[in-house]
Structure 1
Amino acid sequence: MSTSLTIARPDDWHLHLRDGAMLEAVLPETARHFARAIIMPNLVPPVVTGAEAAAYRDRIMAALPDGMQFEPLMTLYLTEDTDPEDVAAAHASGLIKAVKLYPAGATTNSASGVTNFDKVRAVLEKMAEIGLPLCVHGEVTDREIDIFDREAVFIDRILDPVRQSTPGLRVVMEHITTKNGADYVLANETDLGATITVQHLILDRNDMLVGGMRPHYYCLPILKRAEHREALLAAATSGDARFFLGTDSAPHPTHAKESECCSAGCFTAPNALPILAQTFEKASALDKLEGFTSRHGPAFYGLPVNTDTITLTKSDRVTEFPAKIDAGDHTVTVFDPGFPVYWTVAS
């Protein structure tokens, strides 16, 4: 016996595609299910200028297999030397849809990020003027701040003062991981949205640490306590349009994940939607899945909802996902949710 659910084709509002052989390997896994995605600019070197974003977009489209439809929504990496006029020109041309803020040292390839926020004030003011969203990796990087507290401290110390001093700045709090983050969004009715990942909806830090370290559950921001996961699930399944899907699917070679000092990131692109369908069904919120995956994000970014659809189907048989995919000379391990999934995306 099977159950099916047809929804507007989803978008991914936070995605890492990398470059080169890795890009060629992982792009089809997203394009198979998602119409569009906000593309992270933290390459080495980072995508800082409009010209660099255009070149990266061209490489993405060149890697897209024949017969697949996908639109990369490009972003620029905010540095203390970013030119406000270059940002405005890239936005006016339709090339970029957001600028990404990484506090320096917060996550993978973030060394070029911001340390002194006074140095980016002119860029933020220009973005507020033209309505260009700022996508925020919301963690402080001070060594004395516990890693499990860094999101909450960032909200109080950096995010709220930046928003107060830059009226009209539209902000996406990316991959929120705490009740603090969800509550901050709920307390601010305008110019603020938040993405939530698959792993932060279904896992907490016990899943990563109890019985041994599971490196494929290690991501940044790091998994938090169960009470935070429960707050994120409540937000995602509430139907509130301020919350939408950003998978933060982040491929790394398997050997880099299974190393002494493992890379941060979960590669969820191949199975994000089936896992979400099961998660929303368990929460008695299947009717809210389309909003979270397909409608709230376009509304925030001022884009149309996709006109084509996908169908998710549930059966009484466990869905088998690939354990790994090939990526050049390496493999990438596909995220394992740790429980049987019975939903698939119909081909």
Structure 2
Amino acid sequence: MTTAQSSSAALTLTRPDDWHLHVRDGAMLAAVLPHTARQFARAIIMPNLKPPVTTTAQAEAYRARIVAALPPGVQFEPLMTLYLTDNTPADEIRRARASGVVHGVKLYPAGATTNSDAGVTDVMKCAKTLEAMQDAGMPLLVHGEVTDSAIDLFDREKVFIERVMEPLRRAFPALKVVFEHITTKDAADYVRDADAAPGLLGATITAHHLLYNRNAMFIGGIRPHYYCLPVLKRETHRLALVEAATSGNPRFFLGTDSAPHPKGLKQQACGCAGCYTALHALELYAEAFDQAGALERLEGFASFFGADFYGLPRNSEQITLARESWTLPDELMVGDASVVPLGGGEAIGWRLR
């Protein structure tokens, strides 16, 4: 039963969670964390720092830094993850589960995205670790792209399903798997149609993949702040993601993949991948669901399905979005640097009250 209430002017829903988030560390953490905490009650925190968060002790220390960076009086719970390597010991999974603060283990194929060089070279090298995760009920959070340079960039998610995801799920049929930030019709169809027991397979979808196709990166020239990995795809794929997100299928839930980078590292010859959306994440999702005529489905996607998948209680607080046009800042200062939010300087039609 949904608790969302909507009118032509406002939408009230249970406070949501973000099931895929980058908050970095140090000055960047302090600058971006308040944007997430004002909207979301909890977030799955990505572990791809330098060095990566590979142990429970490191995750606990990182969590303490996140909590310390929260503005006074703000309630927000970081849900920590470990960075899977070829050598992650099975005992570390047991320590992670016992800690109560680690809620998943992240699979980055080596070299797939930002700070992923320490990632997994062959998933079957992690067999004993994956067995321990299956036994402990610890979710595997998957960046679903192959890194074979012979595979076209726009096909790497589709090939990942064939080469990695299917063999992985056959070998570990009781393993909880989240196919993160899916970008293709192939992935949406796979998650929707997969033969999996309830609660064993899920997928997160970003707001930018719901709102934009790959043309957004090239309107009027190269637009680096729309460049992310997995990269934006064709319009047919965007439409398939919108259909999945607004379907009411509990396998699909919100994960922003908000990824802040200093402006100078985005606007250079070899710019970083990542879209910064934490500032206005819920407003972006509201725009996407509004355009699809499915605002009544936003609460399940944003507030219920992810919590259910992770076995956590649904939140009890509520938030309200107003149908109100406002202009995003061009950039946000982080010390001597700045971060450009997705769509910086442009108008957006919803606003969190």
1:282 corresponds to 2:291: yes
Question: What is the RMSD of the two structures over their aligned residues, measured on CA atoms?
Answer: 1.3
Cα deviation per residue 1:132-181 (whole Å; 9 max; x = unaligned)? Answer: 10000000001100000000000100111011011200100000000000
Checking the alignment, whether the CA contact within 8 Å between 1:201 and 1:232 is kept in structure 2 is yes
TM-score after normalising by structure 2:
0.95
Task: Give the Cα separation in 2 of the matches to 1:243 and 1:128.
Answer: 21
Match of 2:352?
A: 345
Please report how far the alpha carbon of residue 279 of structure 1 lies from its aligned counterpart in structure 2 after TM superposition. 1.7
Give me the whole-angstrom Cα distance separating, in 2, the residues matched to 1:167 and 1:279.
Answer: 34
- Give the drift of 1:209: 2.2
Q: Does 1:259 align with 2:268?
A: yes
User: Is the 2:15–2:303 Cα contact (8 Å) retained in structure 1?
Assistant: yes
- 1:319 is paired with a residue whose SS is strand
Matched residue count: 344
Matching residue's letter, 1:329: D
Q: 5+ unaligned residues in a row in structure 1: which ranges?
A: none
Is 1:326 aligned to 2:333, yes or no?
yes
1:13 aligns with 2:13: no
Report the Cα offset of residue 5 of structure 1: 1.1
Match of 1:268 in 2: 277
1:181 aligned to 2:190? no
- 1:246 alignment partner AA: G
Q: Are the counterparts in 1 of residues 225 and 275 from structure 2 also a CA contact under 8 Å? A: yes
The answer to whether the aligner puts 1:41 opposite 2:47 as a matched pair is: yes
Aligned counterpart in structure 1 of residue 211 of structure 2, from 191, 199, 202: 202
- CA contact 2:141–2:177 (8 Å) conserved in 1: yes
Which is further off, 274-283 or 221-230? 274-283
Give the conservation status (yes or no) of the 8 Å contact 2:327–2:346.
no
2:177 maps to a residue whose letter is V
Distance 1:116 1:175 in 2: 21
1:327 Cα offset (Å): 1.2
Report the equivalent of 2:316: 307
| Regions of 4+ moved over 4 Å | none
CA contact (8 A) 1:2 1:313 kept: no
Provide the C-alpha distance between the structure 1 equivalents of 2:38 and 2:205, rounded to a whole number of angstroms. 21
Residues 215 and 106 (structure 1), Cα distance of their counterparts in 2 relative to 1, 3 Å cut: same
TM-score (structure 1 length as normaliser): 0.97
Structure 2 unaligned spans of 5+: 1-6
Deviation at 1:211, TM superposition (A): 3.4
- SS of equivalent to 1:135: strand
Q: Which of 211, 236, 241 is 2:245 aligned to?
A: 236
Matched, 1:221 2:230: yes
Q: Find the partner of 2:302 among 275, 293, 304.
A: 293
- Per mean C-alpha deviation after superposition, the further-off stretch among 299-308 and 205-214 is 205-214
* Aligned-residue identity in percent: 58
Partner of 2:37: 31
2:328–2:346 Cα contact (<8 Å) kept: no
